[in-house]
Every structure is written in structure tokens, then in C-alpha cells.
Structure 1
């Protein structure tokens, strides 16, 4: 089987439920050129090297499809998000975005949300009382992250249906199977422009009467390199509004699915809540919500793993394949929450490492123990569940689970739960 054929199968929605055997085949050729000129990189050391290589660009204007074409950063005047810039622009905008968001500039902000997140989590689980079958995605995993990112940004929760449509549209633009790179980039800018009009209204209101949310922090920042331009502020907030909840939906859902497939670990989490920190890191390695990065291009010739990747070549960095590379991780296809040496690629790496990682970690560390404690005898209705078609952001579209009951909040965590049954296959 050719490497090109393997990558094509990975992109095929029919492979979404279990792409990992295909990743193993792909790793046999660490750097594989595709028919369209894309170089697919699938082994851990090579991916890490490229994530840290300044000769790799995240700017869409350096992609070969756009290199000879003028591309406006609008319309209307909405620049690319900071993750789609290279240094020094990226570094300046990321620093400005980070200051009101969390560590290292505001170290207590995200961790300080834990009590509030716990309250929201238990409220969502309370809403499941009386049901014997629940969809973990629609009834919980989507609602928690979207509520959290609305709070962080200062977006009214009642406006969520508006940006849910925008989120769906933006997610399509990172799917390499949907049109050309140029078409996806132009569509992405159009969606961001639509979101920008809405977010600009919030920014205007926060400029007049600032709150303690991130938009207010960006508008009123007077520190070094401030203020962020209004266009950059809008594209940054648009990015966070979407990425700040879509990937975490998959993290929570993939996590619950993995626990249901490993009932011994689920039962152990009930008895050992402290397990959750390492467990979440192992989930990010074993079933990451972001499977690959397909928006990078080379600025110069790069020699790696015996292959020269020419300047101007598009790259596909297969993060999920790298995180199961047996040359880096012992027994990589085993879910091992006690794993200690776990420098996974679940949040990428290098200067573009996931901006929202601190919030995603806290949300998963709150959500999964609460589900483990309060759902009595949960078992999968179907395995595998139906998956979303997107090969980049991989997660179930629905996760139907049968349960016997919901443990009251006041009781959860104080007494042992009934054992978990093995899920059907």
C-alpha cells in the first residue's frame, strides 16, 4: 500500500472511528510526499523538529496555492488570527492575548474558574436526572465548554446559537477534504468577518464599561505593545470563541468514550480522584481531539529523516500518529493513565502550542470525575459511536449512553459507586 493511499484513507470519513492502524502504516515512511506536493510527517521526533523550526510558516500567504496571489486579510479589515502569523507579529499578538487570559501573566484566572466550572458541571448532570439514555455530546460535552468560553470572553450565553453556526462553518475550513486551500482560507476570512461585526459590538460596550472578561482586558490593556488593534482583537476573540469550545467538546467526549471502554480505569477514577491529572494527559496522547495540522508550509529546503522537503511545500503534521510512535512511547496503543514520561503532541508544540490548553485541561479535570462519580452503571449503546467527518478535529457526533440513575451532588464522592459494566461491542 502506498503512503499516498494511506493518507487518503485517513482523510476518508470511513476511517474516522479508528485511524490508528493507518497511522502505524504511515509511520513506516516518516516523511511521505503526496501527489499534490504535500509532505506528510508522521513520526514523533520529526514532527517536534518541524514544530520548532523557524523555516516552517503558519502564514497562509506562504502556502504555494496563495504565494503568487494577493490575498486580503479581510473582508472587512479582519486580519488573520495570531496563530496564522509568523514571528514577530505572532509573538506580539500572542503576548497581548495571553495577558488577560491566563498563565503566566494572569496565573490564577483559569484555575480560579474551577469552583464555577464544578457548579456548572453538576447543574448539567442534574438536568439528566430521570433519563435512562443520554447523549454525552448534546447533553453535556458541548454545553460545558461553550458556557465556559462565553464566560471567559464576556459573551452573553443567550447568543450561543449565533456563533454555533459560525463555529460549524469555521470547522469546515480546516478540513483538507473540503475544497482547495485557497477556497478554505477565503471562506474562513468571510466567516470571521461576520463574527467580527457581532464581536465589535461587545468590544464597544466593554470599552465604555469594562468588566472582568477577556474582551474587556484586551480593550483596556495599557501594557507593553498594547493596545491590540481592533481588527486583531476581533480575529483573536473569534478564534477563541470557536476553538475554545470545539476542541474541548472532543476532549471530554473522547475521554468518556475511552473510560467506558476501560471500565477498570473508570472505577479507579471514582476511588482515586487524584488520578485525573495524569489521566487527562494520557487522553491527550491516546485520543487527541486535534489529529493533525495541515496549515503549514516550508520557507526553505528542510532535510529531515533522509528526505529533503523543498521550500514552498505544504506540510501535514500528523500529531496523533506522533503521539503513538513506539520509538517515543512504550506500548503506545495502550491507554495507561499512570504514564509519567508523557510529552504528547495533543496541544501541538513550539511557538504555536495551543493557546487554550490551560482552560481545556481544567474543564476536562472537572468534567470527567463528575461524570464518573454521578452516572450509575453507564454503558455504551453503540461502539463505535457515530463520528463527525472532519479528520482534523476528531470526535463522536453523538455518544449515547445508558445509565441506571444519577447520584445526587451531595452524595457523589462520599460513598462507593456500583461497578461499571463492560460496554457492548
Structure 2
């Protein structure tokens, strides 16, 4: 790491957690390839759009973080390899093999068939809060929606949804739960271990009693052609579970905040609901849930913008900084739902482009559309400055809580119960 390296503590501040974009703009203008030092590991951040897109397809930047001398276990803990040795952390041809298998099971036909069920889950969740005029939107809607969808897609029994969700949220909220660093690491490692054993048992159960679900389809493919090892079945299931709900949940929270803090754009979308598909893309560009692409390792000395990145260094491609690059987007810090649609990096780029993009877009369109349609006079339940967010150094950009208020109204009158008061509704 060179002497020009900035300290992680200088970048990942409390102010950064609230609004990272001024920091991104400064880095992009002053040090577009920025070395960052921290007590745990050193890295290089790439912040410009063209550089980011080039890095995402650079074969010298490996996604295989488990090779000799690499740092993944030191960074993420001793249980992480068991869950994370999957196609997200693999290079071609291994990545190509794994992705092809999952793509076949994750087919457009299977995803499109979920549309009525996604709409039903959305309405069920909103029915629970409608009569109360208030909700904690992350826990009442944004998190359970994609979690229920991906759990059903994978074949996780409904009785297990809550505990699986609990384990994933311990991992997601690492560093923000009021625990000491040692307690936090222990809690995350325990959640990882419990989740691994649960998914291993799920694979065994589906092998004995297959169903019409994604895990059963993967097992069938594995058993018929030997295309996936047992360990790969478990780690692939974890990837689909975590990636299949986490970013969508954080997107729904971030998008709601963006619209409520830009009422002119909220009015545009209410008046022109046909803009919703393009609005989703602009909201993702404006404040995406995955600020930095998953880590890469330099397999040799490489150079970007005159900066030498040594072999073995960790490289972070800052998607949210690239998506605010004025060289690519006019007035990039302005939310404009009528912006002429151009390419953004919110779903990544290259061979690791998000596999679940169709499902994510469907959930976002149905979920956000229903929020705007069914919650009249939607507004913040606390001052925006009091919103609790994930810590600055989290790999995700999202909210811990999003209290909102709206005009109370009866739930649907189709014979189904409206549900019980939520924690937020019953205590505020």
C-alpha cells in the first residue's frame, strides 16, 4: 500500500453512512483509483464509470478469493468459505459451469410463473399495516417480501422462514447491533454455521422428497449428470437465498426514501405510473443497495489511471460512485425519473451480471407500485435525519428501520383477514 493511501476511518464515517456520494465525488475527482488502508485489510477503490466497467471484465482481477495466499477467510471469518465458495466467487471456466447450471433452473418461465404469487405476498403484507396508518417498512414489508419469495422458490418450508430470516439478518446487520466487535464476530459466525447446517439438511431432505422447487431442480441436475458436488449444492443454495432477497429489500427501502425526499419525483410517478419500469432503473442508479461489487483479487501487478495495483491486492469496484460519474450521466446527483435511460452498473457488468435481475425487477415493480397505490399520503414516521442505517463499512447500503405513516384504510374485503397489528403499529 502506497504512502498516498487514505485510512478507511477517513472514508467510512457516520456522515458517509448517511450520504456517501460527496465522498465518492471527491475520490472520483482526486484519486479515481484510491488505495485504502484498514486494520483488517488494504484495498483499492475504483470509482469512475469507464474504469469500473473495465475492471468488472478484467481477467486479471479474480473473483476466486480462496486461492493460495488470498485473504478471504481472514476478512470474513472461518465459516465463510463453507457458504461462499460458489459462482459469485469463481472465475471462468468454473464460474461458467456453475452459472449455466443455475441459469437453467432459474429460467424465465419459472420466474414469470411467480408473478401472481409475488403480487399476493405484497398485498398480504400491506393488508397487515393498512388499518393502522403506520408501519416499520423494512421489517413489515421490504425485508419479508423478497425473503418469502426466494424461500418459496427454493422450497424452504414456511415454518422455517422466520429462523432463516433471523440468521440472514444477523449477517446483514453485522457491526450495527450494539455488540462489541468480538461479540459481533461470534454472532455472525454462529449464524453462518447454523445457516450452513440448515441448508445442508434442506438439500438432503429435497433429495429424499423432491418438490417443484429450485433446490430440487438443482439436485436432479446434479444427480443425473454429476454437474454439482454436494458442497456446491449447499453454497449455491446459500447464494440464491442471500442474493435473492437482500439487495431487493435494501432497494425497496432506499427507493422509498429517495421518493419521499424528492416529492416532485414522487408526484411524477403517481401521475404517470407507466414510468415505473424506467423509474426502477433510475432509483437503482441513484442509490443502489450494493455500493461496491463483491471483492476481486489482482492476480498480477496491474495499472489503472497510472496507479499500480500490486499482485494479491483486494480491489473494490464502487458501483454507486460509477453510477454518479458526471462523465456518464448528466447532473448525476439529481433524481430524474424521466431521465433518458442509459446503462448503469447497479446489476453489475460482464460475466457476473446479476443472475436474478428478472426476479429483482419484478419484485421491485410490483412492490413499489403497490406501496404508492395502496398507502395514501405516504410519509416519514420520524425526521429523515433520524433514520437508522447500516454501518458505513457494510457491504450493503440500506436501512435498519424505516418508520412511515400514511392514511389508514381497511384491508381488502375479499374474505381474507387483514392480519394483526405490527410491532410498529402497536407501540407507536
User: What is the 5 A alignment of 1:357-372?
Assistant: 357-372=357-372
Residues 219, 227 of structure 1: 8 Å contact kept:
no
CA distance in 1, matches of 2:69, 2:168: 26
Which residue is 2:63 aligned to? 58
* Residue-by-residue CA offset, 1:271-291 (whole Å, 9 max, x unaligned): 322211101111111010001
CA distance in 2, matches of 1:112, 1:204: 26
Q: For residue 147 of structure 1, give the secondary structure of its aligned residue in structure 2.
A: helix
Q: For residue 87 of structure 1, give the secondary structure of its aligned residue in structure 2.
A: coil
| Distance change >3 Å, CA 143–CA 34, structure 1 → 2 | closer
* Residue-by-residue CA offset, 1:305-327 (whole Å, 9 max, x unaligned): 22222222111211110100001
How far did 1:189 drift?
Answer: 8.1
| Distance change >3 Å, CA 300–CA 52, structure 1 → 2 | same
Which residue is 1:143 aligned to? 144
Which residue is 2:9 aligned to? 8
CA distance in 1, matches of 2:219, 2:111: 19
| Distance change >3 Å, CA 153–CA 32, structure 1 → 2 | same
CA distance in 2, matches of 1:67, 1:261: 38
Residues 288, 346 of structure 1: 8 Å contact kept:
yes
Q: For residue 321 of structure 1, give the secondary structure of its aligned residue in structure 2.
A: helix
Which residue is 1:162 aligned to? 163
How far did 1:267 drift?
Answer: 2.9
Residues 265, 335 of structure 2: 8 Å contact kept:
no
Which residue is 1:399 aligned to? 402
Which residue is 2:426 aligned to? none
Q: For residue 336 of structure 1, give the secondary structure of its aligned residue in structure 2.
A: coil
Q: For residue 376 of structure 1, give the secondary structure of its aligned residue in structure 2.
A: coil
User: What is the 5 A alignment of 1:82-121?
Assistant: 82-101=87-106, 106-121=107-122
| Distance change >3 Å, CA 294–CA 151, structure 1 → 2 | closer
How far did 1:99 drift?
Answer: 1.2
Question: Which residue, 40, 44, 48 being the options, matches 1:39?
Answer: 44
CA distance in 1, matches of 2:28, 2:249: 28
Which residue is 1:24 aligned to? 25
Residues 281, 342 of structure 1: 8 Å contact kept:
no
CA distance in 1, matches of 2:77, 2:283: 39
* Structure 2 alignment gaps of length 5 or more: 415-428
The root-mean-square deviation of aligned C-alpha atoms, in Å, is 3.3
Q: For residue 247 of structure 2, give the secondary structure of its aligned residue in structure 1.
A: helix
CA distance in 2, matches of 1:46, 1:146: 34
Which residue is 2:203 aligned to? 203
CA distance in 1, matches of 2:175, 2:102: 22
Q: More deviation in 6-15 or 258-267?
A: 6-15
Residues 376, 407 of structure 2: 8 Å contact kept:
yes
How far did 1:119 drift?
Answer: 1.2
Q: For residue 129 of structure 1, give the secondary structure of its aligned residue in structure 2.
A: helix
Which residue is 1:212 aligned to? 212
Residues 207, 219 of structure 1: 8 Å contact kept:
yes
CA distance in 2, matches of 1:409, 1:258: 28
CA distance in 2, matches of 1:283, 1:68: 34
Residues 253, 399 of structure 1: 8 Å contact kept:
yes
CA distance in 2, matches of 1:271, 1:68: 50
* Structure 1 alignment gaps of length 5 or more: 412-425
Q: Which has the higher helix share?
A: 2
User: What is the 5 A alignment of 1:130-279?
Assistant: 130-171=131-172, 192-221=192-221, 226-279=226-279
